Amino acid sequence: MSINLQKLRQDFLILHREIHPGFPLVYLDSAATTQKPDSVLRAMDSYYQQSNANIHRGVHTLAEEATALYEQARAKVAKFINSSRPDQIIFTRNTTESINLIANTWARVNIKQGDLIVLTEMEHHSNLVPWQMLAAVTGAELEFIPVTSDGLLDLESYRVLLDRSPRLVAFTAVSNVLGTINPVGEIVEMAHAAGAITLVDAAQAVPHMPVDVQNWNADFLAFSAHKMLGPTGIGVLYGKRELLEIMPPYLGGGDMIKTVHLRNFLPNDLPHKFEAGTPAIAEAIGFKAAIDYLESVGMENIAAHEREICKYALETIAEIPGLKIIGPAANYRGGVIAFTMDGIHPHDVAQIVDEFGVAVRAGHHCAQPLHEKFGLPATTRASFYIYTTREDIDMLKRSLLRVVKIFT
Amino acid sequence: MDDLYREIIIDHYKNPSYRGHLDPNDFRYEDDNPLCGDHIEITLRTDGEKIIDGRFDGKGCAISQASADLLIEFIIGKNIEDARKLTKEDILDLLGIELGPVRLKCALLSLKVLKGGLYGLGDTSEIPLD
């Protein structure tokens, strides 16, 4: 079944906004954050209008309703990624916070001086800097699975690193720059065989393809709602129950405790142990509406649509003089295309295409080491989602031809 | 916004008159804009009072590189004291464009580098550009 794009795009008011006279928005920055359908906004609005209350403690009607809605969102997320239980879903602010939570709890207990953490050269700063910070405190060592010139992980080098018995392998499922879809199940299996725990940065994966945490067998997995039609301010840490149970709490405060005395406390049960303070309740409810929306379209359909759009975009922009695409061939790639243009800085590219209503991103996309690896200070990135049309790609091409014209 | 890419800017970007490096020099200073990787180095020769020659080198967007070329062109022959007093408005006048906050950083990088050199400072974050 293919997606009825014309009908679907009616749900996103912003896609019909004119950015400049005669030029409606062509939104090609969904890897940064996606647009939100009307149903997500309505769900959050309705919560504030009808059910707003703090959760878990109150016994009045609104508190019961708000608690039920919040916990339904958790159950929805659990089912969406096939977590065997809802209490393995911790709500955080975003992917970054989820990873920092692991670095400050599990890792603080389990990683000692000289222990090895394996990352990859294609990590977003959010799955790099927390480990650098941890290494600075604990004296742990960091090693990196190299990226090949065609933008894939070098699994032979990974095998060699595993001989050194790392404690943790933390890696991205899909690169936010190269678009590379990594073989997550295989990387996890190899890590487990070497005795390592695994953390998957799934920020660019869960929004774009069916994800089954039991199939991947990842120990920890992190993603954000705002990259999958949901609101900002809420993200997910999935963790295997046996690991979460023995981890120390992260932030201390309300809701994460069972009992508190003047000099000590007893932490709450999962998942509340890791959710101190009033959480993003409206955002959780909006997140549930986003997943409902994605399920109504179907994750297989979404993945197929992005493959088709990405293939079309790769062919279309390859015709532009001086344009070089970074990253792997279409069959290893999600809906992300980063590119350079000879003699033209990405900021100039992004600025000129904006004149056509085209929103792309310019810079290092929070992956500076990857850009250094490829010898590039910056790239321009176009990224696609459920609502991207062939006409969007045609406008991208038209605007890029204008860039070429201005600079020649 | 095509205005931003007026011929004069594209021309100074593609065919700069003052790209290079003076050796020996009396002032040399460099800095970058970590947000986008723009980098500018400026070298100057002076007679103790006037700037008698100057060059810039670096990489970056059209705005940052063109503004560096225009700036060097402007300051050659000027008193050092006057060059120290240059402001954000002077650079925007040279470029002849309006800029939003993000691109303003690109345009002002060369001024920041120039002032860093002329004030003999190790840190450009405190330099007044207004």
Is residue B82 in some structural domain? yes
- Residue of A19, A348, A372 best to disrupt the B interface, most CBs of B under 10 A: A348
- Residue of A368, A404, A406 best to disrupt the B interface, most CBs of B under 10 A: A406
Q: Find the residue in B nearest to A341 (Cα).
A: B61
What is the spatial distance between Cα A215 and Cα A353, in angstroms, rounded to a whole number? 41
pLDDT digits (tens, 9 = 90+) for A157-198: 999 999 999 999 999 999 999 999 999 999 999 999 999 999
pLDDT digits (tens, 9 = 90+) for A256-307: 999 999 999 999 999 999 999 999 999 999 999 999 999 999 999 999 999 9
What does the DSSP assignment read for B88-119? HHHHHHHHT----HHHHHHHHHHHHHHHHHHT
- The reported pLDDT for the residue numbered B122 is 47
Catalytic residues of A: 366
For CATH 3.90.1150.10, the residue range(s) in chain A are 5-30+298-407
Structural domain total, chain B: 1
Q: Do B59 and A355 touch (CB under 8 A)?
A: no
Query: Helices B62-75 & B7-14, crossing angle to 10 degrees?
Result: 80
pLDDT digits (tens, 9 = 90+) for B21-35: 999 999 899 998 877
Residues of A near B (Cβ–Cβ under 8 Å) read 343-348, 351-352, 354-355, 362-364, 377-378, 406-407
pLDDT digits (tens, 9 = 90+) for B43-68: 999 998 999 999 999 989 999 999 99
Look up the pTM and report it. Answer: 0.93
CB A4 within 8 A of CB A296: no
Q: Do B36 and A347 touch (CB under 8 A)?
A: yes
Reference A227, options A250, A256, A207; nearest CA is A207
pLDDT band at B100, cuts 50/70/90?
Answer: confident
pLDDT surpasses 80 at A1: no
3-state secondary structure chain A: CCCCHHHHHCCCHHHHCEEECCEECEECECCCCCCCCHHHHHHHHHHHHHHCCCCCCCCCHHHHHHHHHHHHHHHHHHHHCCCCCHHHEEEECCHHHHHHHHHHCHHHHHCCCCCEEEEECCCCHHHCHHHHHHHHHHCCEEEEECECCCCCECHHHHHHHHCCCCCEEEEECECCCCCEECCHHHHHHHHHHCCCEEEEECCCCCCCCCCCHHHHCCCEEEEEHHHCCCCCCCEEEEECHHHHHHCCCCCCCCCCEEEECCCCEEECCCCHHHCCCCCCHHHHHHHHHHHHHHHHHCHHHHHHHHHHHHHHHHHHHHCCCCEEEECCCHHHECCEEEEEECCECHHHHHHHHHCCCEECEEECCCCHHHHHHCCCCCEEEEECCCCCCHHHHHHHHHHHHHHHHHHC
State what percent of residues in chain A have pLDDT above 90: 94
pLDDT surpasses 60 at A24: yes
pLDDT band at B123, cuts 50/70/90?
Answer: very low
Q: Please report residues of A whose CB lies closer than 8 A to that of B35.
A: 363
Shortest alpha-carbon distance between residue A376 and chain B (Å): 9
- Residue of A125, A341, A345, A405 best to disrupt the B interface, most CBs of B under 10 A: A345
- Specify the amino acid at residue A148: T
Q: Do B5 and A348 touch (CB under 8 A)?
A: yes
pLDDT band at B126, cuts 50/70/90?
Answer: low
Q: Find the residue in B nearest to A366 (Cα).
A: B35
Query: Poorest-confidence range of A80-89, A388-397, B39-48?
Result: B39-48
Mean pLDDT, chain A, whole residue set: 96
Facing B4 at nearest CB: one of A351, A362, A377: A351
Mean pLDDT calculated for residue range B108-125: 78
Q: Please report residues of B whose CB lies closer than 8 A to that of A343.
A: 14
Shortest alpha-carbon distance between residue B8 and chain A (Å): 12
- The reported pLDDT for the residue numbered B130 is 63
Shortest alpha-carbon distance between residue B15 and chain A (Å): 11
How many Cβ pairs closer than 8 A exist between chain A and B?
Answer: 42
pLDDT surpasses 70 at B128: no
Facing B10 at nearest CB: one of A351, A354, A406: A406
Q: Do A406 and B61 touch (CB under 8 A)?
A: no
CB A144 within 8 A of CB A118: yes
Name which residue leads in pLDDT, B98 or A352. Answer: A352
pLDDT surpasses 60 at B10: yes
CB A143 within 8 A of CB A116: yes
Q: Do A378 and B59 touch (CB under 8 A)?
A: no
CB A280 within 8 A of CB A41: no
Q: Assign domain A5-30+298-407 to its CATH superfamily.
A: Aspartate Aminotransferase, domain 1 (3.90.1150.10)
Backbone phi, then psi, for A80, in 5-degree steps?
-60, -40
pLDDT digits (tens, 9 = 90+) for A330-358: 889 999 999 999 999 999 999 999 999 99
Facing A351 at nearest CB: one of B14, B37, B103: B103
State what percent of residues in chain A have pLDDT above 70: 100
What is the spatial distance between Cα B120 and Cα A200, in angstroms, rounded to a whole number? 48
Q: Please report residues of B whose CB lies closer than 8 A to that of A344.
A: 62
pLDDT band at A2, cuts 50/70/90?
Answer: confident
Question: What CATH number is attached to the domain comprising B61?
Answer: 3.90.1010.10
Facing B61 at nearest CB: one of A347, A355, A406: A347
Q: Find the residue in A nearest to B106 (Cα).
A: A347
- The reported pLDDT for the residue numbered B127 is 58
What is the spatial distance between Cα A46 and Cα A108, in angstroms, rounded to a whole number? 41
What does the DSSP assignment read for chain B? -GGGG-HHHHHHHHS-SSBS--SS-SEEEEEEETTTTEEEEEEEEE-SSBEEEEEEEEE--HHHHHHHHHHHHHHTTSBHHHHHT--HHHHHHHHT----HHHHHHHHHHHHHHHHHHTT-S-GGG----
Long-range contacts at B120-126 (CB < 8 A, ≥ 24 apart):
B124/B31
CB A127 within 8 A of CB A172: yes
CB atoms within 10 A of CB A41: 14
Backbone phi, then psi, for A175, in 5-degree steps?
-70, 135
Q: Do B106 and A355 touch (CB under 8 A)?
A: no
Distance of CA B105 to the CA centre of its chain: 11
Q: Please report residues of A whose CB lies closer than 8 A to that of B62.
A: 344-345, 348, 407
Q: How far is CA A187 from CA A117, A173, B103, in A?
A: 14, 10, 42
What is the spatial distance between Cα A118 and Cα A145, in angstroms, rounded to a whole number? 7
Reference A279, options A131, A2, A66, A106; nearest CA is A66
Q: How far is CA B41 from CA A93, A146, A372, A375, A389, in A?
A: 41, 33, 21, 20, 44
- The reported pLDDT for the residue numbered B125 is 55
Q: Please report residues of B whose CB lies closer than 8 A to that of A346.
A: 36, 61
pLDDT surpasses 70 at B11: yes
Query: Helices B62-75 & B101-118, crossing angle to 10 degrees?
Result: 40
Q: Find the residue in B nearest to A379 (Cα).
A: B36
Shortest alpha-carbon distance between residue B10 and chain A (Å): 7
pLDDT digits (tens, 9 = 90+) for A235-247: 999 999 999 999 9
Is residue B130 in some structural domain? no
pLDDT surpasses 90 at A13: yes
Facing A355 at nearest CB: one of B2, B59, B63: B2
pLDDT digits (tens, 9 = 90+) for A27-67: 999 999 999 999 999 999 999 999 999 998 888 999 999 99
**The domain A41-295 is classified under which CATH number: 3.40.50.720, 3.40.50.970, 1.10.10.60, 3.40.640.10?**
3.40.640.10
